Amino acid sequence: MDEGVERWLLIQENLGRARNTVLAYRHAFADYLSFCRQRQIAVCDATREHLSLYVRSMTDRPKQAHASVALETSPSGLANATIRQRLTAVRLYYDYLIEEGVRSHNPVGRGRYTATARTAMWGPASHALLPSYSFLPWIPDEDEWHHILTIAATNSPRNRLMLALAYDAGLRREELCSIATGDLDPARRLVHVRAETTKGRRARLVPYSVPTGMLLEAYLHERRKLTRDRGALFISQSRRNRGVPITVWTWSKVVQVLARHADLPRLATHTFRHLCLTDLARAGWELHEIAEFAGHRNTSTTLLYIHLSGRDLSAKLARATCAHGRRMIEIGACLGAAQ
């Protein structure tokens, strides 16, 4: 890794950035530096043209091994979100170089929306280096969900509990893997999600159900065979790392294997959280309640997680008894009689 990049990554770590965030930055820069070396581009002297070539290289490269990171609308190339994540890391690094006086401008830049009618007043419009696309989150239907559970039932008590908690409490991958034994309140069936493990640095208490409590009891019995020490709830069962706290990558591999056996390549660790929040919306929870449960600062973020299908919306419409329903009866009566 480039010395300047290493220094910048150390600064991010010292500033308290989440461990996964720093790892994502490091991974992004490993890819960017590899591109620069292949094209013989000096990182500090890169231009917007060079960045456009980097974007092209990411959109044209062969599809990744796992379908969960492949662009849904394209036969090849990285996902739009992955490309934007890597460009964000590169942009932040060039911001740092500007602050240090190494560069005068950022080749990545920032997109700004300028209305056409106001262009003359506010200057020319500036577009982001890469357009952003928002895809509906994939969640399994009922048959797919039961198929997932049938296959997961053959897993270890630890993996079964992790799946149950991921859905039941709507936990992110980092939050799930970071649960400590002291974070559990079995008497009230609550999990304390510590602020330092969350994406938004906001602590919260989330409940879990009776079935999850039974799975927890079964897992704790198995855990005592590995260690009686307090600390991380989920620990490794392998011979090499026996009793060591698992990493987020361990959980990701578990879900990847589950997805492969279920023949559901779009299944990912975040799917359980998406499904949980969607089910809460289906159950009639208010948006602000779901946001509080999920740990979102803004309800607009919550909306990205909720996937109400056309069938859900049709059912809501069928239950409508307000003016909309009355008018539709009138439309049906009038237009039907006119035929």
Q: Which two tokens stand for residue 161?
A: 């509990």
Same domain, 102 and 211: no
Long-range contacts (CB closer than 8 Å, 24 or more residues apart) made by 26-32: 26/1, 28/85, 28/86, 28/88, 28/89, 28/90, 29/1, 29/2, 29/5, 29/89, 29/90, 29/93, 30/1, 31/58, 31/86, 32/86, 32/89, 32/90
- Same domain, yes or no: 98 and 157: no
163 and 36 inside one domain: no
Pair (149, 278) in one structural domain: yes
- CATH number of the domain enclosing 90: 1.10.150.130
Residue 322 within a domain: no
Asked if residue 101 belongs to a domain, the reply is yes
Edge-to-edge strand order for the sheet containing 190-193? Answer: 184-185, 190-193, 204-207
| One domain for residues 153 and 301 | yes
- Could you tell me the maximum CA-CA distance found in the chain, to the nearest angstrom? 79
Integer Cα distance of 303 and 59 in angstroms = 28
- Shared domain check, 146 and 102: no
Q: Is residue 328 part of a domain?
A: no
Give the tokens for residue 116.
């056409």
- Name the residue with tokens 């929306």: 113
Residue 320 lies in a domain: no
> Mean pLDDT for each consecutive 10-residue tract of the chain (339 residues)?
87 85 90 93 91 89 50 58 88 92 86 42 48 72 92 93 94 94 94 89 90 93 90 89 89 95 93 90 84 86 67 55 59 62
Same domain, 159 and 207: yes
90: number of Cβ within 10 Å? 24
Q: How many domains, the chain?
A: 2
* Same-domain pairing of 186 and 267: yes
Same domain, 18 and 106: yes
At residue 128, the pLDDT reads 60
In a domain, 124, yes or no: no
Q: Quick one: pLDDT at residue 118?
A: 39
307 and 162 within one domain: yes
Residue 136 lies in a domain: no
Output the pLDDT for position 68: 38
Q: What is the 3-state secondary structure (H, E, C) of the chain?
A: CCHHHHHHHHHHHHCCCCHHHHHHHHHHHHHHHHHHHHHCCCHHHCCHHHHHHHHHHHHHCCCCCCHHHECCCCCCCECHHHHHHHHHHHHHHHHHHHHCCCCCCCCCCCCECCCHHHHHHHCCCECCCCCCCCCCCCCCCHHHHHHHHHHHCCCCHHHHHHHHHHHHCCCCHHHHHCCEHHHEECCCCEEEECHHHCCCCCCEEEECCHHHHHHHHHHHHHHHHHCCCCCECCECCCCCCCCCECCHHHHHHHHHHHHHHHCCCCCCCCHHHHHHHHHHHHCCCCHHHHHHHHCCCCHHHHHHHCCCCHHHHHHHHHCCCCHHHHHHHHHHHHHHHHC
Q: Is residue 203 assigned to a domain?
A: yes
CATH number at residue 298: 1.10.443.10
Residue 78: predicted pLDDT: 81
Residue 312: what pLDDT? 58
Among 93, 112, 131, the domain-final residue is: 112
Kindly state whether residues 290 and 227 are assigned to the same domain: yes
Containing domain of residue 307, as a range? 142-312
Two tokens at 294? 């999920």
Q: Is 106 in the same domain as 190? A: no
Does some domain include residue 302? yes
